[in-house]
Chain A
Amino acid sequence: MKTKHLTPDGLTGYIYCTLDDAQREVIDAHLMECPTCRANLAEKERWQRQISNELGSVLNFAAPSPQLNFSAIVPRLQNRHFRKNIWLDRVIVVPTTLALAGLVFAVFGLWRAIGAQAFTSPAQPLGAFPPLACFFLTLASVEQFDRSHSLRPRRAITWAVALILWLGSAFIGLLDLIVLRDLAIMAVIAVDGRNATAGPIAIMTVLLGAMLYIGFVIGGAEYHYKNIGLPGSWKLFSITLLGQLFILILPYLIR
């Protein structure tokens, strides 16, 4: 009978203790029976030891020059109680301004859409506010990429920016629904030229879009809450907002 040997990935996971108990038991049982896999495991362990030893030999003997000393930073430490005004701190001002600008444009866009009755009557122009909102909110999220490694505990600013991005994205999502509905109507008219069938298609599009919208808003909130301040969260905001921007400009691209 042909023996199925353990995969290199499984063996690597075994030596680095990244497997769960059940996987380890399976591998332990196989190793008892299979000399080939025992030899492969020994080889992997040899490499593991070698990498640790050699890296340790290089780094543990690396020493900084005398220039790396405490006295060089004393002047900066002595001035620590005279820190600059918090409102002039770029780390706070830039993302807050960008996010707030985006949120204001999103609110204006939504306000205008409600005023123009765009939710009830199709083909109402949404204006420049929604794309501007997407632009500023995307900038705010991209701006956070570099600061997303928890140099400090999650501060109010992180929560505030994430909340504004989520709110702004939710508002723009509503406007995206309008655009998608109008696009569906345009598609129906372009295909058979009869307005009579466009109504049900629009309703179907809105229903489907609304379900997706609710899923994205709730699922997104959960994801961002769990990963607040991490790169994945900011990247998801950026991707979502760029996708929303694409939907908003889609009618202009099609024309």
Chain B
Amino acid sequence: MNLEALIERWRAGDQRAAESIYNQHREQTFRLAYGLLGNTEDAEEVAQDALTYALLHIHHFDERRSKFTTWLYMITVSRSRDIMRKRRLPTFSLTAWLQNRQSPSDSRPGPEQRVTENETRKSVWDAIQDLSPDLREATTLRHWGGLTYQEIAEITGCTMKTAQSRVRLAHQKLVRILGEVDFQQSAEETR
């Protein structure tokens, strides 16, 4: 059954439709929150909260204005901002904290030849977590979500021009950070 029909059925009070909507969006919502917050517990809290809010306020969703996913991502981004504000998680300490934990790539130790690949992945992940929240949101929505600038603008509450410049700025910052990491790694290899 398609999403529109499920939303209509949930609006009419069918709880199984709500469950289907929940299950269809559970992982995506969690992943977006994880990308923005960088840790599983917070991401699960945000995902649960965002999904609950969306289902409880389904009558506020206007399909003529946006897609359901865009609306749900909007709620997720807003809830993630609340968490960041509440727990005062500055990005620099978050990265330091993450380094003391197992990152997703660390939890699946691969064969020896994949060490470099995992290191690169970790470098990119750490660099993204080092970005300011605005830039991290734009990068995650663009690179992972594959969203248009219009959708990013709608989700993050800025203009399309701002969304575009955030994506560009994030790219330049990431390249600078990752370029330095590359340089340090090659310098260590030549020693």
Q: Which of B1-9, B43-51, B88-96 contacts A (4 or more CB under 8 A)?
A: B43-51
A226 → chain B closest CB, angstroms: 10
B158 → chain A closest CB, angstroms: 8
Is B124 interfacial (CB-CB < 8 Å)?
A: yes
A47 engages B171 (CB within 8 Å):
yes
A60 engages B44 (CB within 8 Å):
no
Is A121 interfacial (CB-CB < 8 Å)?
A: no
How many residue pairs bridge A and B at CB < 8 Å? 144
Is A68 interfacial (CB-CB < 8 Å)?
A: yes
A48 to B170, CA, bound (A): 11
B156 engages A149 (CB within 8 Å):
yes
Known contacts: A57-B121, A62-B104, A65-B40. The answer to whether A8 contacts B60 by CB under 8 A is no
B139 engages A51 (CB within 8 Å):
yes
A186 → chain B closest CB, angstroms: 42
CB within 8 A of A55: which of B40, B124, B157, B178? B124
A219 to B125, CA, bound (A): 43
A151 to B54, CA, bound (A): 9
CB within 8 A of A68: which of B30, B56, B78, B81? B30
Is A30 interfacial (CB-CB < 8 Å)?
A: no
Is A253 interfacial (CB-CB < 8 Å)?
A: no
Q: How many residues of B contact A (CB 8 A)?
A: 62
A187 to B188, CA, bound (A): 68
CB within 8 A of B124: which of A16, A18, A54, A230? A54
A64 engages B43 (CB within 8 Å):
yes
Residues of B within 8 A of A55 (CB): 35, 124-125, 128, 139-140, 143-144
Q: Give the residues from 10 to 60 in chain A that come closer than 8 angstroms, CB to CB, to chain B.
A: 12-13, 16, 18, 44, 47-48, 50-52, 54-60
A51 to B174, CA, bound (A): 8
CB within 8 A of A73: which of B32, B51, B108, B171? B51
Residues of A within 8 A of B57 (CB): 151-152
Residues of B within 8 A of A16 (CB): 142, 164, 167-168, 171
B31 → chain A closest CB, angstroms: 5
Is B23 interfacial (CB-CB < 8 Å)?
A: yes
A62 engages B168 (CB within 8 Å):
no
A48 to B168, CA, bound (A): 10
Residues of A within 8 A of B52 (CB): 73, 76-77
Is A122 interfacial (CB-CB < 8 Å)?
A: no
CB within 8 A of A67: which of B44, B82, B140? B44
A51-B171, A55-B143 are known contacts; what are 11 more A-B pairs with Cβ within 8 Å?
Answer: A9-B172, A18-B164, A50-B120, A51-B124, A55-B144, A58-B35, A61-B104, A62-B30, A64-B27, A77-B52, A148-B157
Closest 9 CB pairs of A and B: A54-B124, A152-B60, A18-B164, A64-B30, A149-B157, A149-B78, A52-B143, A59-B31, A70-B22
Q: Can you list 5 pairs linking A and B with CB atoms under 8 Å apart?
A: A50-B124, A61-B104, A64-B44, A149-B77, A149-B156
Q: Which B residues are within 8 Å of any A CB, using their own CB?
A: 15, 18-19, 22-23, 26-27, 30-32, 34-35, 40, 43-44, 47-48, 51-53, 55-57, 60-62, 65, 74-75, 77-78, 81-82, 85, 103-105, 108, 120-121, 124-125, 128, 139-140, 142-144, 149, 154, 156-158, 164-165, 167-168, 171-172, 174-175, 178
